[in-house]
Chain A
Amino acid sequence: MTVTDNLFDNLRLELRRGCLTLAVLAQLREEHYGYTLRKALAERGMVIDESTLYPLLRRLETQGLLASQWREEDKRNKRFYRLNADGEQMLGQLLAEWNQTNAAIQNILDNQL
């Protein structure tokens, strides 16, 4: 791997970090357990490693943005997550920020063309 590839990977990782949280919060307006959430995100183009997604769910729950519940499904106990009221509010604020950032970058690019 060249230095440029390495740098790109690092910058890409930084860029994606916040977006992953936003994507997970948005997807969890519907209830999911870890694996189905990962599949749902991947189907929409947001591929996330298991080792990133599952700890992220725990952190978001600890931060009070998700509610979780152990429940049996297909003869197996699974932990289901869903956005709670605080999470809904946070998602709204983050989406507004996301849209503003997106518009600003688009504006900068448009002005340079």
Chain B
Amino acid sequence: MEILDRYLQAVKKQLPLKRQDDIIAELRANLEAQLEDKESALGRPLTTGESEDWLRELGAPVQVAAKYQPQQYLIGPMLFPTFWYVLKLVWLWATVIYVIVNVVKIAGAPSGTALLDAVLQWPLALATSTAWVTLIFAAIEFAVRQYPEKWRQMGVPLPVGGDWQPSSLPLLEKDAEGGKKPKSRSAAIAEVIFGFVLLVWLLLVPYHPYLLLGPGALYLQGSPFQLAPVMVTVYWVLVALTGLKFVWIALQLGRGRWQQTQPPVHKWIEAMGLIPMGMLLATPQHLFVTLKNPALDQARYGSALEAINKSIYLCALLVVAIAAMELVWWLGKMGMGAWRRRVAA
């Protein structure tokens, strides 16, 4: 029967290459036996209409073929909440960066067309970032599904049933620190991913300044200014602190303790961020930027240099003041909490 052959051919095309001949041979034997039964019951061959009705009952080729394959998905139910959380963060940051870049670009050469272009290309920027995030998570899903044992041997906690720990259950909201909503696992995983990306980005900036300054890196290269040695020291202290924080949050996640607020190591690491800022404030004569060639450029760029160093000093002072106030506020809250617990006991 020609239409049955066509049907089986269509099913075959949807099956995995390795098993298609075997499956089709079996399906053909079953369907031909069924057809013989139908025709012997009727005492005549099926009409074209009857054959089509019968095949329609069997189901569309693509649906029949799909039932021979395991359920397939790009990102499984275990990774999906993390994927969704990260994707929303990426959309937010992609939009922020896109807006900043385009504001700078349009401010340089204002025009209605440039503004329209920026608005129209915004969905494209979001689609590109979505594609990258999806690709990365699909790769993680594939690696976890294909080699679960290797990941376990490496001590990586997998988001699957066997590795589930009761200690990873969310805290009761009323018991969470300061009544705040406790951190979810997705948020903790995203924090580790972003911590890693931030660390890599920091390490790459000295070799690829455009990662920090964008097209402005070219201007810096050709400018008469250069960073003073203290900035290099501060940079390495920042790298060390970022690395320390990344190791800490990764360890907390690995041990299933990302919701525990005690001991508040991350807060102390943040407080250590005051060290590089203090180093900046203590720099003699507040020289953060110097001239590459002072003998030649002092007369021309001397006042600009002074203004730049003064601005950096004021910024550092402001940041230190805010961070110190936040630290004092947090220490005060800790002290009050400890005092209340002692009174209650």
Known: A55-B67, A55-B68. A77 touches B25 (CB 8 A): yes
> How many of A's residues come within 8 Å of B, CB to CB?
16
Interface of B is mostly: helix
User: Which B residues touch A34, using CB under 8 A?
Assistant: 26, 29-30
Does B139 sit at the interface, judged by CB under 8 A?
A: no
Q: Determine how close the nearest CB of chain A comes to the CB of B106; give it in whole angstroms.
A: 52
Interface hub of B25, B29, B58, B64 (most chain A Cβ within 10 A): B29
A-B contact count (CB 8 A): 45
Q: Does B59 lie at the interface of the complex (its beta carbon under 8 Å from any beta carbon of A)?
A: yes
Chain A residues lying within 8 Å of B59, measured Cβ to Cβ, are 49, 51
Q: Once the chains bind, are B68 and A50 in contact (CB under 8 Å)? A: no
Q: Which residue of A lies closest to B36 (CB)?
A: A74
A16 within 8 A of B: no
Of all chain A residues, the one with the shortest Cβ separation from B35 is: A35
On chain B, the residues within 8 Å of A55 by CB distance are 67-68
Q: Which residues of B lie under 8 Å from residue A44 when comparing CB positions?
A: none
Which chain A residue lies CB-closest to B69?
Answer: A55
Interfacial residues of chain A within 19-61, with CB under 8 A of chain B in the complex: 33-36, 38, 49-52, 54-55, 58
In the complex, B33 has a CB within 8 A of chain A: yes
Is B40 an interface residue when CB atoms closer than 8 A count as contact?
Answer: no
Residues of the A chain whose Cβ atoms lie less than 8 Å from the Cβ of B33: 33, 35-36, 76, 78
Total interface residues in chain B, CB < 8 Å: 17
Give the contacts of B53-81 with A (CB-CB under 8 A).
58-59, 63-64, 67-68
Closest-CB distance, B109 to chain A (whole angstroms): 58
- CB pair B30–A35 under 8 Å, yes or no, is yes
Contact status A77-B58, CB under 8 Å: no
Chain B positions within 8 Å of A58 at CB level: 23, 68
The answer to whether A78 and B29 have CB atoms under 8 Å apart is yes
| Interface pair A54/B26, CB less than 8 Å apart | yes
B15: min CB distance to chain A, Å: 11
Specify which chain A residues have a CB less than 8 angstroms from the CB of B26 in the assembled complex: 34, 54, 78-79
Q: Is the CB of B32 within 8 A of A50?
A: no
Interface string of B8-40 (1 = CB under 8 A from A): 000000000000000101110111111001000
Q: A51 — which chain B residues lie within 8 A by C-beta?
A: 58-59, 63-64, 67
In the complex, the answer to whether A54 meets B29 with C-beta atoms within 8 Å is no
Tell me the bound Cα distance from A99 to B344 in angstroms.
56
Q: How many Å from the CB of A97 to the closest CB on chain B?
A: 21
